[in-house]
Amino acid sequence: MIKRLKIKYIVLALSALLVLLAFIVAGMNILNYNEVVREADRTLTVLPQDRGGALPPETENLELDKPLPPGMSPEIPFESRFFSVFVNENGEITATDTSRIYAVDNEIAAQYAESAMKKSGNSGFVGDFRYLRVTENGGTRITFLDCGRKLALFRNFAMFSVGISLLGYVVTAILICFFAGKFIRPVAESYEKQKRFITDAGHEIKTPLTIIGADVDLLKMDYGENEYLDDIENQVKRLSGLTGDLVHLARMEESQKSLSMIEFPVSEIVRETAAPFQTLAKLQNKELVLQIQPELSLHGNEKSISQLVSILLDNALKYSPEGSTIRLNMEKQGRKLILRVGNPCLTPITEEDLHHVFDRFWRADPSRNSETGGHGIGLSMAQAIVSAHSGKITATLQEENEFLITVVFPA
C-alpha cells in the first residue's frame, strides 16, 4: 500500500507540474505571438496604401496614411521592410512596388499576392510576411510587411522556453522522486502503526473470547440450553471471525513480498476450490456455473489463489438472491490470465458503490449484516492477494444489475 501511495503521490505531483508548466509556456508564447501580430497590424495600418501604383523612392520622405498609434515609435514605419501589389477587379496584377524591400522582386511579389488573394481574411501571413488587403479604386491593394526577424525571435523564444521548462520538469521530477518517501513518511508510519495495532489487538482479543466461549460451554453443561447463552455464543463466534480476518489481512499486507511464488496449474486449483461451493449453491437453491479454460498455469502462491477464489465465490453466494445463477469464468487472453466472478445483486448497487467495494468494512446494505454473516473485509483481502501477484482487480455493474468482479493476472 505504501508503495502504491508513493507512486500515486509522484504521478499526481508530476501531472500537476506538467499541466502548470504547459499553461505557463503556452500562455507566454501565445501572448508573444499575439504581440508580434498586433505590432505588425498596427504598422500596416499606417504604411502608405495608395500612391497610384508606386511608392516614393527610399531617398524621399515617406508619407504615412494615418497618424501613428499611441506607443508606436515614429521610426518603426521607416525601419520596416514592405512591398505592395495592386490587383484589379478582374484579379489581374496591375502594379507592384518593391522599392522598400531588397529580397523581393516583382515576380516574387506577384506570387505572394496570389497566395494572399486565395485566403479568406483581409489580413494574415504568407510565409514570414504579414499582409493587409484594402479595397480601393475598383481593385485591391495588398501590402506585405516583412516580419521575419520578429517571427524568428518568437520561434527562438518558444524553443528556449520549452527547453528550459522540460529541463526544469526533469530536475523537479528527480527531486520529487527522491523526496517522495520523506513526504509520505508520516502516512507510512501511521499505516504501519495501524497494522501493528490490528495484529496486537487481534491477539489480545482472542484470549478473552476463547475464555468467554469456554465459559458458555460450561454454563450450558450446568444449566442446559438457553437463548441468552446462544446469543453470547453466536456473538463470540462472530467477533472471533472478525478478529481472525483482520489479523489475517494485516499479515497478508505485511508479507506480500515474502510470498512463495511458484508455477502451478491454476485451472485445477480453481476448479478444486470452486467444487464445494457448487454443493453449497444447490443447498441455497442457486446454481454455480464454472467455465474454466483447461491447462492454465500461473506463477504465484497456490494457497493465496485458492483463498482468492473462495472469497469471491463466498461473496457471490452471500449477496445473490435465491434461484439466481453465479458464474465463474477463467481464461487466458494474450499474455493475461483473467478470472471473472459474476452474480445478480441481492440489493441494488449504484456506480458510486463500486468505488467502495474494496474498502474495509464497507457494505452495500449494512442492515443485512446479521443475515449474511460477513464482516465487510472479504474483498479487501481479495485485493491484497491480487496486489501481491502484481495483478489488478475491478468491480463493475453489468446489465440486469449483475455484479461482476474481474481479476487480471500477468500470465
**253-272 pLDDT, tens digit each:** 655 556 788 999 999 999 99
Q: Got the DSSP string for 322-358?
A: TT-EEEEEEEEETTEEEEEEEEE-SS---HHHHTTTT
- Give every strand in the sheet of 123-126, ordered side by side: 93-97, 82-88, 139-146, 129-136, 123-126
- Is the pLDDT reported for residue 47 higher than 60? yes
Residue with the bigger pLDDT between 109 and 67: it is 109
Q: How far apart are CA 31 and CA 328, in angstroms?
A: 59
Strands 139-146 and 392-398: unpaired
How does the average pLDDT of the chain come out, rounded?
82
Band of residue 198 on the pLDDT scale cut at 50, 70, 90: low
**3-state SS class at 227:** helix
Which domains are assigned to the chain? Answer: 1-183 (no CATH), 189-254 (1.10.287.130), 262-410 (3.30.565.10)
Band of residue 64 on the pLDDT scale cut at 50, 70, 90: low
Buried b (16+ CB within 10 A) or exposed e, 299-310: ebbbebbbbbbb
Q: How far apart are CA 210 and CA 218, in angstroms?
A: 12
> Picking from 294-303, 328-337, 362-371, which range would have the lowest pLDDT averaged per residue?
362-371
* Average pLDDT value for residue range 393-409: 90
Which run of H or of E encompasses 112? Answer: helix 106-118
| Radius of gyration of the chain measured on its C-alpha atoms | 39
- Is the pLDDT reported for residue 57 higher than 50? no
Quickly count: other Cβ atoms within 10 Å of residue 98's Cβ: 19
* Average pLDDT value for residue range 298-310: 91
- Is the pLDDT reported for residue 279 higher than 70? yes
Band of residue 290 on the pLDDT scale cut at 50, 70, 90: very high
Buried b (16+ CB within 10 A) or exposed e, 319-340: bbeeebebbbbbebeeeebbbb
The percent of residues in the chain predicted with pLDDT above 70, rounded, is 81
pLDDT of residue 268: 94
* Average pLDDT value for residue range 123-128: 92
Prediction pTM value: 0.53
- Is the pLDDT reported for residue 60 higher than 70? no
* Average pLDDT value for residue range 310-339: 92
pLDDT of residue 70: 64
Take residue 211 and report the three cell numbers written for it.
475464555
Band of residue 223 on the pLDDT scale cut at 50, 70, 90: confident
